[in-house]
């Protein structure tokens, strides 16, 4: 009987982690941490869910500030990387392999976030909505949730069909097409390794513009919706590098 490969196995592997996740600069991690602590009103002793935590770099950065972090990700090797970080912090993060479409934190957290475009990979809007619902069900009343997503108006205006990234002896070429009929961004990820081997991966993410993101947040039960254009908390414009949306679990 033919089985279908899980969507995440076709993209998220150690090569992607090495080239992108692990090479984010410490200054970028620090700025993201500053933003999250401010927007989510986190302080020493606060509890937060890092939904789709990847290899845990932001989780550890928050933990260094005395914040209790629960990080979940569906990729077992990423969770193992996160656990193996040799970092001394006031509160060691807890990491768990779990599906963010289904996972609910218990006990409830003071806030939650989903960072680095880890949202929108399901073809069905109802499935993506489930991830937002699970986040709201994981935080206390009055708490906030943040999603870091692509700025779709800016992508349409300044579309780049090819981006090349080099990391050590690995080169990653990302070829992108915009499927406007299905409202999907499709990418082909080609990794060329130091020994000449080529590994090709594919991905598809929904093109949710700010209005569509706001609609999904409202459907998930959030209120007090706000948008930001970057981690400096600047207003969202077509020029913004990111579309960061926050919502509150109503009191």
Q: Return the CATH number at 244.
A: 3.40.50.150
Is the pLDDT at 8 greater than 90, yes or no? no
> In the chain, how many domains are there?
2
User: In terms of Cα–Cα distance, which of 33, 2, 41 is closest to 226?
Assistant: 41
Contact between 182 and 205 (Cβ < 8 Å) = no
Q: Which residues pair with 139 in a beta bridge?
A: 109
Residue 2 lies in a domain: no
Across the range 7-28, mean pLDDT stands at 65
Note whether 54 and 21 are same-domain residues. Answer: yes
pLDDT band at residue 158, thresholds of 50, 70 and 90?
A: very high
Q: For the segment 38-54, what is each residue's pLDDT rounded down to a tens digit?
A: 999 999 999 999 999 99
* Residue 241 resides in a domain: yes
Q: Residues 241, 142: one domain?
A: yes
Whether 183 is covered by a domain: the verdict is yes
Instruction: Examine the domain organization and report whether 145 and 37 are in the same domain.
Output: yes
Q: Are residues 171 and 214 in the same domain?
A: no
Judged against a pLDDT cut of 90, whether residue 191 lies above it is answered with no
Q: Identify whether the C-beta of residue 11 lies closer than 8 Å to the C-beta of residue 203.
A: yes
Q: Is the pLDDT of residue 122 over 50?
A: yes
Dihedral angle over CA of 11, 16, 17, 22, nearest 10:
-150
Question: Is residue 206 scored above 70 in pLDDT?
Answer: yes
Domain extent at residue 193: 154-204
CATH code: domain of residue 180:
2.20.25
- CB count, 10 Å around CB of 202? 11
Task: Give the pLDDT confidence score for residue 17 in this predicted structure.
Answer: 59
pLDDT at 60: 96
Scored b (16 or more CB within 10 A) or e, 44-75 reads eebbbbbbbbbbbbbbbbbbbbebbbbbbbbb
Task: Please return the burial class of 5, using the count of CB atoms within 10 Å of its CB with bins 0-12, 13-18 and 19+.
Answer: exposed
Same domain, 88 and 128: yes
pTM for the complete prediction?
0.91
pLDDT digits (tens, 9 = 90+) for 55-72: 999 999 999 999 999 999
Name the residue among 12, 10, 6, 15 with its Cα closest to residue 171. Answer: 15
Judge if 199 and 238 occupy the same domain: no
Q: In this predicted structure, what is the pLDDT of residue 87?
A: 77
Average pLDDT rounded to a whole number, residues 23-29: 84
In this structure, what token pair is assigned to residue 215? 């609609």
Q: Please, which pLDDT band fits residue 138 given cuts at 50, 70 and 90?
A: very high
């Amino acid at each position: 009987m033919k089985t279908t490969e899980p969507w995440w196995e076709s993209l998220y592997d150690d090569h992607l982690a090495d080239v992108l996740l692990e090479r984010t600069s410490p200054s970028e991690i620090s700025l993201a941490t500053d933003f999250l602590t401010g927007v989510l009103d986190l302080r020493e002793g606060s509890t937060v869910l890092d939904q789709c935590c990847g290899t845990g770099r932001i989780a550890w950065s928050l933990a260094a500030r005395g914040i209790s972090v629960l990080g979940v990700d569906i990729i077992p090797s990423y969770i193992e990387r996160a656990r193996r970080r040799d970092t001394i912090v006031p509160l060691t993060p807890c990491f768990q392999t779990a599906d963010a479409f289904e996972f609910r934190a218990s006990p409830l957290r003071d806030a939650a976030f989903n960072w680095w475009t880890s949202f929108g990979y399901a073809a069905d809007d109802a499935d993506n909505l489930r991830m937002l619902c699970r986040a709201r069900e994981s935080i206390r009343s009055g708490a906030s949730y943040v999603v870091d997503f692509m700025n779709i108006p800016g992508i349409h205006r300044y579309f780049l069909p090819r981006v090349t990234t080099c990391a050590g002896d690995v080169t990653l070429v990302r070829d992108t097409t915009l499927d406007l009929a299905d409202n999907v961004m499709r990418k082909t990820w080609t990794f060329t390794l130091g020994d000449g081997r080529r590994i090709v991966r594919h991905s598809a993410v929904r093109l949710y513009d700010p209005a569509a993101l706001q609609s999904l947040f409202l459907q998930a039960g959030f209120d007090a919706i706000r948008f930001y254009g970057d981690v400096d908390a600047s207003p969202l414009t077509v020029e913004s590098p990111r579309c960061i949306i926050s919502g509150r679990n109503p009191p």
